[in-house]
C-alpha cells in the first residue's frame, strides 16, 4: 500500500506518490480510497470506545486540523447515557461548539487551554486530575503527575460541595453526585492517593456502603440517612485545610 496526500492544485486537486515505487509505472490506473484514521487516536486508560462515538470524535478532530484536542468526561464511559461532550482544545476553538451541536445534537463544553495550563491543572486541581485520568486525544500527550497542594485553592474547591445539604431535596441525582465527587476528589488529593473516576467512586462506596452510588444517583437516599456522614467528612476536610492555611501564614 502507498500513501499519498491530496494537495490543492490550480485546476484539479492532485495526489503525489514517491518516484521510488516498485510496481506502479507511469500511466498505471490506481484505486483511490480514504484511509480510516480511527487507529490514529491516542487513547489513555480506555480499552473500548463505541464505533459511533469514535466516528463523532474523528469528525471533530478532522475539523480542528493543526491543534490538539482532548475528549474527556462522561462521553467516554461505556454506553450511551450522555447528553454533552467535554473537550479541551489546545489552540483555536472557533466554531467547534456549533459544529458539535448542529451535526450531532450534543451540547459541547469547551475549555481552551495551553499545554502548560493543562499540566498545572493536573498537578494542582483534584477534579482536573481525575478528568485527565482517562481521555482520547488527537495527538499524543505525555504528562507527569506531581501533586502540589495549594490549600487556598482546596478551600475554594471545597466551597462548591457546601451546596449539597442546602440543595439536597431539589437537586437531581447527577447534580448531587457531582458535588459528592468533588468532595471525595479533594479527600484523595490531600491524601496523595491516585485520582480517577473509579478511585473516587470506590472511595465513596467504601465510606457509605456497597451499592450506595446507584441508590444515590436515583434519588433513593434520604437526606436524614446521608447528612450525618457527609457533614462529618466535609467538616474534617475543612478543618484540615484551614489548619494548613494557618501554618503557611
Angle of CA points 88, 91, 97, to nearest 5°: 55
- As a whole number of angstroms, the distance between CA 167 and CA 145 comes to 34
- All domains of the chain in start order, with CATH: 38-137 (3.30.460), 151-247 (no CATH)
Neighbours of 92 (CB within 10 A): 12
Q: How confident is the model at residue 67 (pLDDT cuts 50, 70, 90)?
A: confident
Give dist(CA 226, CA 180) in Å, integer. Answer: 11
Instruction: Note the pLDDT tens digit of each residue in 102-154.
Output: 999 999 999 999 999 999 999 999 999 999 999 999 998 888 888 999 999 99
Lowest average pLDDT, out of 64-78, 157-171, 223-237, goes to: 64-78
1 — pLDDT class (breaks 50, 70, 90):
very low
Residue pLDDT, tens place only, 76-102: 988 876 778 999 999 888 899 999 999
**Sheet with 107-112, edge to edge strand ranges:** 42-44, 135-137, 68-72, 84-90, 107-112
Q: Model confidence at 187, in pLDDT bands (50, 70, 90)?
A: very high
Q: Bridge-partner residues for 45, per DSSP?
A: none
- 8 Å CB contact between 114 and 120: no
Q: What is the pLDDT of residue 190?
A: 95
Q: What's the pLDDT score for residue 6?
A: 67
H or E element in which residue 110 lies:
strand 107-112
- In the chain, the percentage of residues whose pLDDT exceeds 90 is 66
Give the global pTM: 0.76
pLDDT of 117: 95
Amino acid at each position: 500500500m502507498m500513501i499519498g496526500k491530496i494537495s490543492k492544485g490550480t485546476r484539479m486537486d492532485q495526489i503525489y506518490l514517491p518516484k521510488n515505487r516498485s510496481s506502479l509505472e507511469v500511466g498505471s490506473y490506481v484505486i483511490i480510497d480514504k484511509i480510516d484514521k480511527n487507529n490514529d487516536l491516542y487513547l489513555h486508560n480506555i480499552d473500548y470506545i463505541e464505533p459511533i462515538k469514535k466516528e463523532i470524535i474523528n469528525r471533530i478532530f478532522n475539523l480542528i486540523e493543526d491543534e490538539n484536542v482532548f475528549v474527556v468526561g462522561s462521553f467516554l464511559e461505556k454506553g450511551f447515557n450522555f447528553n454533552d461532550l467535554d473537550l479541551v482544545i489546545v489552540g483555536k476553538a472557533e466554531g467547534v461548539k456549533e459544529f458539535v451541536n448542529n451535526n450531532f445534537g450534543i451540547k459541547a463544553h469547551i475549555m481552551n487551554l495551553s499545554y502548560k495550563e493543562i499540566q498545572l491543572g493536573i498537578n494542582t486541581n483534584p477534579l482536573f486530575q481525575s478528568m485527565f485520568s482517562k481521555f482520547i486525544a488527537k495527538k499524543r500527550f505525555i504528562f507527569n503527575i506531581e501533586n502540589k497542594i495549594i490549600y487556598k485553592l482546596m478551600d475554594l474547591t471545597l466551597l462548591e460541595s457546601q451546596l449539597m445539604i442546602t440543595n439536597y431535596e431539589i437537586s437531581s441525582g447527577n447534580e448531587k453526585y457531582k458535588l459528592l465527587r468533588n468532595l471525595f476528589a479533594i479527600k484523595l488529593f490531600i491524601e496523595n492517593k491516585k485520582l480517577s473516576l473509579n478511585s473516587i467512586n470506590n472511595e465513596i462506596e467504601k465510606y457509605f456502603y456497597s451499592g450506595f452510588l446507584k441508590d444515590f444517583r436515583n434519588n433513593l437516599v434520604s437526606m436524614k440517612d446521608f447528612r450525618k456522614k457527609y457533614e462529618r467528612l466535609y467538616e474534617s476536610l475543612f478543618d484540615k485545610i484551614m489548619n494548613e492555611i494557618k501554618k503557611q501564614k
